[in-house]
Amino acid sequence: MVKPSIPKGTRDFLPDEVNKRKFLFQTIEDVFRRYGYLPIETAAMENLSTLTGKYGDEGEKLLFKILNNGDYLAKADEKALRDRDSSRLLPTISKRGLRYDLTVPFARYVVMHQNDLQFPFKRFQIQPVWRADRPQKGRYQEFYQCDVDVVGSESLMYEAELVKIYDDVFTALGVEVIIKVNHRRVLMGIARAFGQLEQFNTFAAIIDKLDKIGEDGVKKELGHMGFSDEDCTRLFQCLNCPDISSLLALVDTNEDLDRGVEELRTFYEFFDLLDCNNEVVLDLTLARGLGYYTGCIFEVKAKNVEMGSIGGGGRYSNLTESFGLSNMPGVGISFGAERIFDVMESLGLFKDLHGLYVKIIFLAFDKDSHQYAFRHVSKLRSEGYAADMYPEPAKFKKQMKYASAQGYRYVVIVGSNELSAGKFTLRNMLSGEQHMCDLEEIVEILASK
Amino acid sequence: MVKPSIPKGTRDFLPDEVNKRKFLFQTIEDVFRRYGYLPIETAAMENLSTLTGKYGDEGEKLLFKILNNGDYLAKADEKALRDRDSSRLLPTISKRGLRYDLTVPFARYVVMHQNDLQFPFKRFQIQPVWRADRPQKGRYQEFYQCDVDVVGSESLMYEAELVKIYDDVFTALGVEVIIKVNHRRVLMGIARAFGQLEQFNTFAAIIDKLDKIGEDGVKKELGHMGFSDEDCTRLFQCLNCPDISSLLALVDTNEDLDRGVEELRTFYEFFDLLDCNNEVVLDLTLARGLGYYTGCIFEVKAKNVEMGSIGGGGRYSNLTESFGLSNMPGVGISFGAERIFDVMESLGLFKDLHGLYVKIIFLAFDKDSHQYAFRHVSKLRSEGYAADMYPEPAKFKKQMKYASAQGYRYVVIVGSNELSAGKFTLRNMLSGEQHMCDLEEIVEILASK
C-alpha cells in the first residue's frame, strides 16, 4: 500500500476552487465570444516534431516527453544507449510530448486546417499546458492558458479591439488594471538612434527586466552592451516620455521609428473611438521578452495588489512560418489565468460565488417521510430546480451537522407531522428561523437567484 | 521544414465541434448540479505509483508514461539497460503517467482530501483521459469521460437518483434511450444456483458478451465452464425473466439471491416515486464486465441508432481500498460522451446550435464609415451584445464573401450614405432583403435569441 500522492507541481481542485475557476474562464470566454472569436481545442499530446525547436534551449528542457508504448527500447539508438546519452536516445524512444503553450499548437492547427477556416480567423483557446519548471509558490507544472488571437489580417483595428477585450474582461471580473501599450518598431527606432539596432534583441531583453532589476540594474547591463553613462541617461529620458511627440522631440527619426509611430497613430485612431474603464497608457519601457513580436505590444498589471503582469501580447508578422505557411500575420493577447485567480482571491472578488449550486436540502426522519421527501425533491429537480436530500432517515443531529457543514442556506425538515399535513418545515440556516410551509414557498426560494 | 501533423488517435476540434461538445458537457453538468453533485478536477499527470496495478495487465499496457526530465538515464537501472529490458527499466526513467480514467484519480482524491470533504460526498468530473489503444473509428487516445459518483453512503436512494439523472440528461439532449438495471448479487445468486459461484467473475464476463457473440456464443463459452446444454437452457430461462417474481419461480433461493432481490426491491421503492421519460427495464442479462461492481448495475442504450452502450455504472463496496481507506462504499455512473456526440450527430440533434455566437457583422467601405462602424460595434459590445466587423474597408464582394462563408445571419452595410444619415443598411442574409435602419433595430435583433 502506497500513501497516495500527486506529482510535484500539480494540483487537485476542491469543488469551491473548480467553481471559482469556471467562473473566471466563463467570464473571459463570454467576452471573447462577444467579439466574434471562435473556440478551438487541440489535443494535450503533440508530436515532438511539432514542439521541438520552438521554445529555445531553456524551453526545450521543460517539455514533458511521452515514452513510446510497448517495447520502447526495441527501436532505441544502440550507440546512444551504450553511451548513456539521454538527448541522443530521446528521439528513438519518444515521439510525443505534452503541449507547452497554445501558440505553437495554434500555428500547426492553422496550417493543417487552412482550407476549413475563413481569414481573418479569430480564435480563442482556453486549455491547460505543461512545463517541467521547478515548482514554487504560484508556479505549477500544469496550468491553464487563455489565448485570443486573430490571424490573416494586418488591420490595427484588432489591436484596439484586443485592448478593449482586456478592459471588458477585467471590468467584468472587478479587477482594476493598467493596460500598457508600446510598439516594437518604436523600441527598435530608439535602439537604432543609439546605434544599437543590431543588438536589438539583447537590448529589448534588458529593458524587459526593468521591473525586476530596476533602472540601475538595466543601466549596468546596457553598459556591458556598449552604452555609455551619458547614453543611458539620454535613453531613459526617451523611455520615460509620456507620449510620442515628446519622444520625437528627443531623438532623430529613422525608418523604424517612423513606421512604429505611424502604426501607433493608426492604433490610437481606433482606440480613441472606444470608452475604457481602465487606464490605458503608452509605456515606452514595455519591451516584452519574446523576439517573436514585431508590432504593437501590450501588458496588463493589476492595481492594488503586488503581482507580476497578468496579461500580455502583441502583433507578430507571421504565425505559421515554422510550419511552412507564409503570410499569416496576426495579433493576440493572453490572460494569466492562474495569477488572475490569485489576484481575485487576495482582493476577495469571488465573495459572491457559492460553492454549492444547490441551496436547499431536505432532511427526513422516518421511512415514510423520507419517501415523501424524495418524491418532492425529485419533482423539484424535474422542474429544473436544484435541490438535495439526505440519503436516509438518520438522527436529526447528524443530518443537521451535514447540512450545516456543506453550507446549505435552507433546510427542509420532514417528519410525520409534515407528512400528515402535506407540508414542510422550512428552516433558514442563517437566521435559525423556521416555519411550516407548502411546496410553493420552497419553489419561490429556489426560483429566486 | 516538417509537414505539420498530430499524433495518431488525437484530434483537433474546429469551432463548430467545440461548440457542440460544450453544449453536450454543459447539459450534463447542469443536471449533475441540480442533484447536488459538486465538480472536482485533478491533474492530467498522476504518479505511476497511483496508476499501476489498477487496470489489469491489458490496461497497464495502455498507460501513457512520461519520461523523467533532464538526464533521465542518470538513474536508470544498469542491468535493465544492458538487457534492453523495457519493463524493468521503466520505473527508473519514468515516475509519472497520464490519467487512464477518472475513477482511480477520484479514489486517490477522496483519500488525500478526506478531511476537507463531507460524506456522503457527491462529485462529478468531466475531464479527458488518455489510453494508448490502437486508434480506430470512434476510438481515440485522448477522450473525455463524464463521471458522477456518490461515496460514503449505502443508501439505495442514490441508485434511483442516478437512474433519474440518466433520464434527465438524455431527455435534455433529445436522445431516446433504454436504461437497463440489474444487480450483481442477483447474478451471483443465479450462478450459485447453478453451482458456479466460485467462477462468478468468468461467468459474469461471459454473460457480458451476449450483445457481441449472441446466445449461441455465450452457451458455447459456458459449456467450457462446465454448463451442460440443459443448464444453459435453464439459465437463459432465468436470465430472460422480465421480473423478479418470475425468476424466483424458476430457481431456489440462496443468500446472494436474497440479498440482491431485497436491494432491488428497495431500489424500486425509491424508483417508483419518480416519473421517467425513458424506458427503465430490469435486464437480468446485464452483467457489466468489471469485477469492481457489487450491487445495482446500469447500462444505457440509444434507441433508433446502431451504437454500443452510451452509459453505464453501478455500486461498489469500497472505492478507496487500494489506497488504504476502508469503508467507502459508493455508486456512480458515467456518460460515454464521445459516443453520445456521435449519436446526436447521426440523429441531427445539434441542428439548433449555431457555430457562431455572433450573428451580425458590420462591413464598411471607406475609412470614415469604417471608423463610424467600429465605434458602433464597440458600443454594442460594451452593452453586452455580440457583434463583429470586417477589419478594413475592403471591396464589397470580398467582405460579403467572408460574411457569407462564416455564416453570419445579418450584415450591416456602412458607406458614406449611411454615415451622413447616421443610419445603417441591414441585410438579412437568408432572404437577401435589405433596408436602412437605425441602431435600435439592430439592438432588437441582437437582443432576440
Q: What tens digit of pLDDT does each residue of B238-277 get?
A: 999 999 999 999 999 999 999 999 999 999 999 999 999 9
Cis peptide before B393 (omega within 30 of 0): no
| Interchain CB distance below 8 Å, B388 and A157 | no
Query: How much is the pLDDT for B448?
Result: 84
Contact yes or no for A358/A387 (Cβ under 8 A): yes
Q: Which among B68, B35, B33, B24 has a CA at the least distance from the CA of B335?
A: B24
Give the closest of A12, A112, A391 to B112, CB-based: A12
Confidence of residue A289 (pLDDT cuts 50, 70, 90): confident
- What is the predicted pLDDT for the residue at A342? 95
Interface of A with B in 54-73 (CB under 8 A): 61-62, 64-67, 69-73
The string over B267-297, giving b where at least 16 C-beta atoms fall within 10 Å of a residue's C-beta and e elsewhere, is bbebbebbeeebebebbbbbbbebeebbbbb
Whether the pLDDT of residue B447 is over 60: the answer is yes
Q: Which of A41, A72, A81 sits opposite B13 (nearest CB)?
A: A41
pLDDT at A138: 82
Neighbours of B324 (CB within 10 A): 11
Q: Distance between CA atoms of A144 and A128, rounded to whole angstroms?
A: 4
pLDDT greater than 60 at residue A355: no
For A373-394, the pLDDT digits (tens) are 999 999 999 888 999 999 999 9
- At A396-429, the pLDDT tens digits run 999 999 999 988 999 999 999 999 999 999 999 9
Give the E-state strand segments of A108-266 in sequence order.
Answer: 121-130, 142-151, 177-183
A72 to B66: CB separation less than 8 angstroms, yes or no:
no
Does residue B352 carry a pLDDT above 80?
no
| Cα B323 from Cα B326, distance rounded (Å) | 9
Its pTM stands at 0.94
> What one-letter code names the amino acid at B225?
M
Task: Give the ipTM.
Answer: 0.94
Give the list of residues 6+ apart from residue A181 with CB closer than 8 angstroms, or none. Answer: A163, A264, A267, A280, A281, A282, A283, A286, A296, A297, A298
Mean pLDDT of B418-441: 96
* Interchain contact A142–B (C-beta under 8 A): yes
Residue appearing with cell numbers 464486465: B289
Q: Average pLDDT, whole number, for chain B?
A: 94
C-alpha span between B333 and A334 (Å, rounded)? 37
pLDDT at residue A354 above 60? no
Give A-chain residues touching B65 at CB under 8 angstroms. Answer: 66-67
pLDDT band for position B353 (50/70/90)?
low
pLDDT in tens, B64-107: 999 999 999 999 999 999 999 999 999 999 999 999 999 999 99
Q: Is it the case that residue B375 has pLDDT exceeding 80?
A: yes
Task: Please answer yes or no on whether A381 and B34 come within 8 Å at the CB atom.
Answer: yes
Q: Do A108 and B46 touch (CB under 8 A)?
A: no
Residues of A in contact with B86 (CB under 8 A): 70-74
Which residue from B47, B86, B94 is facing A6, i.e. has the nearest CB?
B47
What was the pLDDT predicted at A449? Answer: 66
**The cell 439459465 sits on which residue?**
B235
Nearest CA in chain B to A114: B14
Chain B contact set for A406 (CB, 8 A): 118
Residue B298 is inside which H or E element, if any? strand B296-302
Residue B289: pLDDT over 80: no
Q: What is the mean pLDDT of residues A253-275?
A: 96
Inter-chain CB proximity B40 and A158 less than 8 Å: no
**B363 DSSP β-pair partners:** B413
B332-336 mean pLDDT: 97
Quickly count: other Cβ atoms within 10 Å of residue A33's Cβ: 17
Q: Do A12 and B113 touch (CB under 8 A)?
A: yes
The percent of residues above 70 in pLDDT, for chain B, comes to 98
Give A69→chain B minimum CA distance, Å. Answer: 7
pLDDT interval class at B222 (50, 70, 90): very high
Residue numbers in B near A90 (CB within 8 A): 67
Q: Is B396 on the interface with A (CB under 8 A)?
A: no
Q: So what's the pLDDT on residue B265?
A: 97
Mean pLDDT of A181-210: 94
* Cβ–Cβ contact A131 with B under 8 A: no
Query: How many CB pairs lie under 8 A apart between chains A and B?
Result: 298
